[in-house]
Structure 1
Amino acid sequence: MWKNYVYMKTKIYTSLFLTLGLALVLFTSVKAQTTEIRGEISGKVLDEDQKAFPYATISLLNAKDSTAVKGTLTGDNGTYEFKGLNAGKYLVAIYVVGYKKTFKGPYAIGAERKLYEVGQVQLATDAKLLKGVEIVKQKPLIERQIDKTVLNIENSVLAAGNTALEILQKAPGVTVDKDGKISLRGKQGVNVMLDGKPTYLSADQLANLLRSTEGNAIQSIELITNPSAKYDAAGNSGIINIKLKKNRNYGTNGTASAGAGYGDNYKVNGSLNMNHREKKFNIFGNADYGFNKRFQETDIVRVNGTTANPTYFDQTSHTDIKRTNRNYKAGIDYFINDNNTLGFFLNGYHTNGDDAANVLTLIGDQPGKRDSSVVAPNTNLRKYTGITYNLNYKGTLDTLGQEISADMDYSRYYGKQNSVFNNMYKNASGQPLKPDYIFRNASPSIVKIWGGKVDYTLPINKAMKLDLGLKTSFVQTDNNFLFENFTNNQWASDPGKSNQFLYDENINAAYANLNKKFKSTTVQLGLRLEQTNSKGNSVTDQKVVKRDYINLFPSIFINQELSKDHEVGLSYSRRIDRPDYGSLNPFIYYLDLYSFRQGNPFLKPQYTNSFELSYSFKKSLNVTFGYSHTNDVMTDVLLTDTVKKTIFISVQNLAKQDSYNMNMSYPVQITKWWSSNNNLTVYYNKFQTPNLLGLPYESGRTSFNLNTSQTITLNSSTKFEWSGYYQSKQVYGTLLIAPQYGIDLGASKSFMDNKLSIKFAANDIFKLQKSQITSAIPSQKYVVNEKWESQVFRLTCTYRFGSKDIKGARQRSSSSEAEGRRVKSGR
């Protein structure tokens, strides 16, 4: 044991030192390269009130023929810059709808002068264009970019009081089921990141984290359906990156927020975000608190047994769920000089949960007839904690745009569930039938993750760029499952139902991305190599599953500008999804006496090949067609046991999945005060496997999601919104999921020069949200109906204080990318 421990530690530190060693080699080698004449032009844009103008469109033109050379947007402080310019004469064009177009220059870049500061340029309103319309300078709710869709949540009324998970339900092409599992364009397996960093959580823990992340802390959400080779190959349906707000002012500044909500139960939330910046240091931190009490009702009607000897179950349960969430982050950036920055941060969360369920199971040999029943008041206490430490470095090596960055991470997660199941047997008249069956289980788990990565960017010339990177990660998990029966007025251990599961994993990766810009065509070629070494050890059962494999993951992106208003794009990528650590755990997690979830240590990773064709008209109407093929697709399978008369869920590998999808979005400015965003996703999922319950299995269905949001802007400080969604009936694996839909409303008002804002939001105002699941397997007969506390009214107040117009904390992408999100909590 000690030798294995020392060997493992040696591998970890050796890999990390090699990774950082490569960073040093790259750093010293690129410094030795010769430099060419490269110039820089920068400036700042002001509005008619001489305030910083964010998101203004800036074009760099060739002074000779006014052809476009580069383009950019001003930042939050109104500044812009063009770097790495070749020798020549340039013009700067500034253009914003409702303002007169402004030209500055020409500026001659050469050996005699390389740097130009345009200075502050104040824009003047264009009376011909305005015609009395008030211009509000803010990003649209939904933006389409070449490689992603961006939701600008910061100014959305509906974000007030809502959590990140609730906001994702409104995102185009995104669906969130009752358990918080996220799908993108009809496919599960989404890699969710915060500020470009992995969340290090399982589906359950991720849902808890997103429920505790308040909407007023979110700046934007990025939907990346076909990621490049720079990203981890995990996530067959893409990446969702949630970017949190950042302070941007020199001195001390921050944001304080407090909110309350009520549906059938009350909820409260609060947050504090602070930033202090000086010339050499930037210190930042935030803390969030949330308390949420809600209910969930479940009704399971099923028939079990043979045709000649059926048993009918009608099970109803009401669960009161309490969650207390605390999240925190703190860090510091040290600016060594203008080109080198060293940073450190820690990020953690703490969640406590208390579930109280009342379960009634009616049992009979005919529908609607009760021969006996089981009454079960069950309790479940949950506790999850996690913390991540990150040490990072970023260096700008020259004015050509060469950059190198390095990250080292250590994460530790602890989770525990203590569940007690009280089963009281009754006869048809409600009298005791036999002695009560009482049992309990505890499932403590510890996960440790070490990681290191290096990324390097080399601009070969003004039209070509090369990205290179290395990464290594190590994961160790220790899961225990302790089962005890209550007999003779005392608890007694049941070794036959207890188990310990150990899992070790090492992933080493390298990638290269080459981006080339032609006259009207952009091409990006990428290749990622990942080596995986894993070992699962079910200690009690003495079962060991060991896997070692190497995979290549190519990616291709082509974007063609047909004309000023028309663009088309084509992309391809190969991806992998490895089983999360909890799904590999062979434990049996009881939901109640007759319902449970069981892990599968023999799960194999799934591989996906994805193709996407896109078309854009005036960067407003966007249409995307996609196809993907997945082998060994992992999916939840809900089955009944005819012998034990139970129903259980396990994750299994089906042979393949074929997915076709079409996504269309079109924002419409109906009037000067009424704007609309609309998104339609149509998809067809087909699942096939040669053997499921002894027979070939095939399922497929065409489904669609429709999202719409309407914004009414009375003036710059008052706004109303409503949004609605509809998800049609769909099939996923062996499950048929009934339609789901809902409507939300919101309003906001700001005061004190936008320092104070009050937002009101009403979720699911007509109480329409519910879930129904049936089996796509003809021999499995069950109906699962669920209803939860979906109608909630919230009021949120936010106050901003401190300085303005500085750069905030740097956003880091830590080195453990996808490992942590596979941490599986007990159920």
Structure 2
Amino acid sequence: MKGIKNSILLCILCLIFSGVNGQIISGNVVNEHNEPMIASGVSLLRATDSFLVKILPADTRGNFLFDNIKEGTYYVTVVASGFRKYKTDIFTVKDSITLPVITLVQYAKELAAVEVRSTKPIIEVKADRMIFNVSSSINATGSNALELLGKSPGVRVDNSSLSVNGKNGVIVYIDGRPTNLSGNDLAAVLTGIPSANIEAIEVITNPSSKYPAAGNAGIINIRLKKSQSLGLNGSTSVTASFAHTPKYDFSGNFNYRNKFYNLFGNYGYQYGDNRTLSHFFRQVSGNTFDQRATYIRTSDNHNYKGGADFFLSKRSTLGVLINGSALSGPFKTTSSTDIYRTPGVVDSFLNSANNQTKRLRRVNYNINYQYKDTVGRSLNIDADYNTFRNNMNSAQNNEYKMDPDSILGINNIRTIALTDIDIRSVKVDYEQKALAGKLGIGAYYNDVSTENDFKVFDRSNTYEKLDSSMTSNFAYKEKIYAGYISYSRAINKVSFQLGLRAEATSALGSLTTLDAGAYRSLDTSYLNFFPGASLSYKLNNYSTWGLSYSRRIDRPGYEDLNPFVNILDELTLSKGNTFLKPQYTDNFQLSYNYKRYTAMLGYSRIKDFFTQVLDTVDGNKSVQTVKNIPYQYVLNFTTTAQFDVTKWWGVYCYLDINNSTYKGNLNNSYLDINVTRFLIYSENSFDLSHGWSAQLSGYYNGPAATGTTRWKEIWTVDAGLQKKVFDNNGTVRLSVTDIFNTLRPGGLIDFGGTYLRSDFRSESRRLKISFSYRFGKKSVKQARTRTTSADTESKRLKEK
């Protein structure tokens, strides 16, 4: 009897032990665009008799996890509305396992119906990114990419500079490929992309080690539209905008797909004048300069993309791609400056006129190979060649006057600036299952070569004379070698990722002037390691906590290194800084997600922060350049909420509270600035009957600071109306941006003996009307979205 009791007790203990130490089956469900399939139904079935063991929905990341699973043979099925049912192969469970990523494929017929009736939310919040679905926004009609970035939550655009959550160093991608531009040059390319060509803008604030280490504020990826169909389909759009001057843009895209290959492409064109008014009030060395200027830029912009994917097998795809932009058109500036030697008494006037022509060409060539099998192995190889050509010719007249009829002096000059940049890069990424998780390794190589010629001619006399003191050549070469390793795994409710990236950089720059001859201005090399880690804890199917850390680098933009002098007028100049150092950032982030609500607390420490600085030369000339501030500290809190007031009224809200501190020696003075900024953004969507819909959006961006510049508050309200026509294939949109005409940024610099107050006013209030039409089939797959080898260079060129 005692033996029987002991046997029963032993059996009970074994059952308890087996229950506690049961195995775990985990996985991830995505669609064909690699987006998580939230709430898809995942079932675990016993292979021997198809008995349903467990069923649960995928979470907000598309993840699922079955725990306390006995040893045996099983299979998994996944179902979601509008998608084909997925069934895995039979697998054996002896230890905890992670299944290969499950990709659901949409039904062609069902997707066509869904595409007519449903619309993506304007703002989507995901675990690692925030997505602004431009194609769903009525108020985005007639805008360009730069304007839309200024309306994206957490993004600020100040004088062509981008920042996210109070941090600069933003890497910009277009369709996962680098623009290789920054500052003025980047602004020019972005203004050349009409909103009709943009599907969405993704803001990724904490990239993993798989991404290049560049970009302390993270990554902005602009996804252009791609038709989603078997067979032939596409769309076309035309928009007219009316403000001080009219503006027009046209765009179109197509996609053709069969079982052997996929062809795709798009084209966009913009034309129109854009006027900006500025007011600069500057005091230095007892003198006062009060300048008012008018800028008129004529946009004559083309951007394009074309490519093909060849399906070598079910697992292998070879792709080729070309994308680029061509920008031209005159840029005219007229300014008048009142000069005060004695307070309240005008001593003289400076009238300037600058007529500039620019021809800019940017082309990216890419070849890509992708392999992906059913057991979790994947290989991506990218090779890129980028070219950037900028030809600028400027004629400037400067007149000093005592009064309208008395000329004190004339100084007329002409400048020619030629910039050639070539970038060659290759990257390889490999992933496979390992150690009950996923192991990734990769390598990257980038080779940059730039050549810059700058000539200045004196036109004050009847003939032009070359100014040898201002004429120069700047050459710069840079190579980056990088490699990374990453590991991720899910254990019960906990998932984590660890990564380490190493990057070695060598750079050589030389400046040659006609007067001083040749001398080497830059010769440096450095090796850096960039660790990254993230931890996620799933409380339940609705709530998740996250914790992450990453270290990042921002190398100086090529234009910021270029020491050439850019002349606005005789008293207002700008130039680069050959000795600018890279800036390094340590990012910490704590996040919480609950259903459609999110909260994030972040802290960043930036060493050698890039900032625009105003210097004074020759006693009265203002020179803007870029220098390093020893430290910037950023503490920010963001929260988002999405909810439905009624069945036809949806609301998205975003709040960002940001505290920035700048400390260290700058221009022989000690800088200690602390500013707290508030940003509130709201988007209201109204789904009206009979194909009508409307949107009302607005934001308030409180006072902020970037280095030595303090920015005043700005706010704006937009509204739009939309009607579906022609059996829902056509769309008519009418919108008004900046209804109250309040989008007037301004800044203040009061540091190091220089006082500068600036105000700007552009054509922000616009009436826009557009018509778009879709043709062809409306189903299934699209061209692959690829991240190419040139990603680290995303922001370092400058297009304007």
**Could you tell me the TM-score, scaled by structure 2's length?**
0.88
The reply on whether 1:557 has 2:530 as its aligned counterpart is no
Deviation at 1:280, TM superposition (A): 1.1
- Aligned in 2, Cα 1:476/1:524: closer, same or farther, shift over 3 Å? same
SS of 1:680's equivalent in the other structure is strand
User: Kindly tell me: are residues 437 and 750 of structure 1, through their superposed partners in 2, closer, same or farther at Cα, counting changes over 3 Å?
Assistant: same
Match of 1:481 in 2: 454
Instruction: Please say if residues 666 and 679 of structure 1, whose CA atoms lie closer than 8 Å, have aligned partners that are also in contact.
Output: yes
* Consecutive aligned runs of 4 or more in structure 1 exceeding 6 Å deviation: 38-45, 71-74, 102-108, 114-123
Q: Shift in Å at residue 671 of structure 1?
A: 1.2
Residue 652, structure 1, aligned to residue 627, structure 2: yes
Residue 425, structure 1, aligned to residue 400, structure 2? yes
In structure 1, C-alpha distance between the alignment counterparts of 2:671 and 2:626, rounded to whole Å: 16
Are 1:810 and 2:790 counterparts?
no
Task: Return the letter of the residue paired with 1:355.
Answer: F
Secondary structure in structure 1 of the residue aligned to 2:191: helix
Query: For 1:288, which of 268, 290, 303 is the aligned residue?
Result: 268
* Selected match of 1:217 from 197, 208, 224: 197
Q: Percent identity?
A: 32
1:465 CA drift (Å): 0.9
Query: Could you tell me how far apart the structure 1 residues matched to 2:151 and 2:755 are?
Result: 32
How far, CA to CA, are the matches of 2:491 and 2:28 in structure 1?
23
CA distance in 1, matches of 2:87, 2:743: 60
Please show how residues 446-595 of structure 1 align to structure 2 within 5 Å.
446-460=420-434, 464-540=437-513, 541=516, 542-595=519-572
Partners of 1:752 and 1:799 in 2: CA distance: 9
How do 1:182-261 and structure 2 match up within 5 A? 182-261=162-241
Change (3 A) 1:749 1:103: closer
Counterpart CA distance in 2 for 1:107 and 1:812 is: 26
- 2:197 maps to a residue whose letter is A
Q: Which moved more, 1:773-782 or 1:797-806?
A: 773-782
The count of aligned residue pairs is: 742
Q: CA RMSD in A?
A: 3.0
In the alignment, what sits opposite 1:369? 345
Match runs of 1:768-807 below 5 Å: 768-777=742-751, 779-807=753-781
Shift of 1:471: 0.8
* Matching residue within 789, 795, 798 for 1:821: 795
| Residue 217 (structure 1) shift | 2.0
Q: Give the AA of the match of 1:60.
A: V
- Secondary structure (helix, strand or coil) at the match of 1:66 reads strand
Amino acid at match of 1:633: F
TM superposition shift of 1:455: 0.8
Displacement after TM superposition at 1:553 (Å): 0.4
1:613-661 C-alpha deviation (Å, 9 max, x unpaired): 011122x2211000000111111112334x4301121100111111110
Question: 1:268 — aligned with what?
Answer: 248
Does structure 1 conserve the Cα–Cα contact (< 8 Å) formed by 2:337 and 2:349?
A: yes
How far residue 73 of structure 1 moved from its aligned partner, in angstroms, is 10
* Residue of structure 2 in register with 1:736 after alignment: 710
In the alignment, structure 1 residue 327 sits paired with structure 2 residue 303: yes
The Cα shift of 1:261 comes to 0.8
Indicate if the aligned counterparts of 1:758 and 1:798 stay in contact, CA closer than 8 A.
Answer: yes
Structure 1 613/435 Cα, relative in aligned 2: closer, same or farther at 3 Å? same
Equivalent of residue 66 in structure 1, options 54, 63, 68: 54
Equivalent of 1:139, from 79, 96, 120?
120
| Paired AA for residue 412 in structure 2 | I
Partners in 1 of 2:75 and 2:266 — Cα distance? 46
- Specify whether residues 69 and 403 from structure 1 end up closer, same or farther in structure 2 by C-alpha distance, changes over 3 A only: farther
- Summarize the Cα distance change of 1:616–1:543 in structure 2 as closer, same or farther, 3 Å threshold: same
| 1:590–1:596 CA contact under 8 A, matched in 2 | yes
Distance 1:504 1:686, change over 3 A: same
C-alpha distance in structure 2 between counterparts of 1:43 and 1:211, whole Å: 33
Q: C-alpha distance in 2, partners of 1:245/1:563?
A: 35
CA 1:686/1:184 → structure 2, altered by over 3 Å: closer, same or farther?
same
Query: What displacement does 1:165 show?
Result: 1.8
Counterpart residue type for residue 303 of structure 2: N
1:238-283 Cα distance to aligned partner (Å, 9 max, x none) = 1111112211222221111111111010100001212222221211
* Distance in 1 between residues matched to 2:144 and 2:330, nearest whole Å: 20
Give, in angstroms, the shift of residue 434 of structure 1.
2.6
Q: How far, CA to CA, are the matches of 1:393 and 1:518 in structure 2? A: 32
Is residue 2:598 matched to residue 1:622? yes
Distance in 2 between residues matched to 1:327 and 1:632, nearest whole Å: 35
Query: Shift of the alpha carbon at 1:670?
Result: 0.9
Does residue 88 (structure 1) correspond to residue 69 (structure 2)? The answer is no
Q: For the Cα contact (< 8 Å) 2:651–2:683, is it kept in 1?
A: yes
Classify 1:571/1:501 alpha carbon distance in 2 versus 1 (closer, same or farther; 3 Å): same
Letter in 1 for 2:298: K
1:705 aligns with 2:679: yes
SS in structure 2 of the partner of residue 154 of structure 1: helix
Q: Distance in 1 between matches of 2:104 and 2:348?
A: 84
How far apart are residue 716 of structure 1 and its match? 6.7
- Do the aligned residues in 2 keep the contact of 1:41 with 1:117 (CA within 8 Å)? no
Tell me, in whole angstroms, the C-alpha distance in 2 between the residues paired with 1:136 and 1:673: 14
Deviation at 1:140, TM superposition (A): 2.1
User: Which amino acid counterpart does residue 469 of structure 1 have in structure 2?
Assistant: G
Could you tell me whether the CA contact under 8 Å between 1:729 and 1:737 is conserved in 2? Answer: yes
Q: Contact between 1:59 and 1:72, CA under 8 Å: does it hold in 2? A: no
Could you tell me how far apart the structure 1 residues matched to 2:348 and 2:105 are? 84
Residue 13 of structure 2 is matched in structure 1 by: none
**Which deviates further from its counterpart, 344-353 or 260-269?**
344-353
Q: Helix, strand or coil for the counterpart of 1:809?
A: coil
| Partner of residue 597, structure 1 | 574
Aligned-partner Cα distance in 2 for 1:150–1:356: 36
CA offsets, 1:199-252, max 9 Å, x none? Answer: 122222221222221222222221111111111111111111111221122222
Q: Determine the structure 2 residue equivalent to 1:158.
A: 139
Closer/same/farther in 2, CA of residues 210 and 647 from structure 1, 3 Å limit: same
Kept in 2: contact 1:136–1:716 (CA 8 A) = no
Separation (CA, whole Å) in 2 of partners of 1:595 and 1:43: 54
Asked whether the 8 Å contact 2:698–2:717 carries over to 1, the reply is yes
Following TM superposition, by how much is the alpha carbon of 1:89 offset from its aligned partner in structure 2, in angstroms?
A: 4.6
CA–CA distance in 2 between the matches of 1:661 and 1:43? 31
Inter-partner Cα distance in structure 1 for 2:344 and 2:232? 67
Shift of 1:472: 0.3
1:742 to partner: Cα distance: 0.9
Are the equivalent residues in 2 in contact too, given 1:86–1:109 (CA < 8 A)? no
**SS in structure 1 of the partner of residue 727 of structure 2:** coil
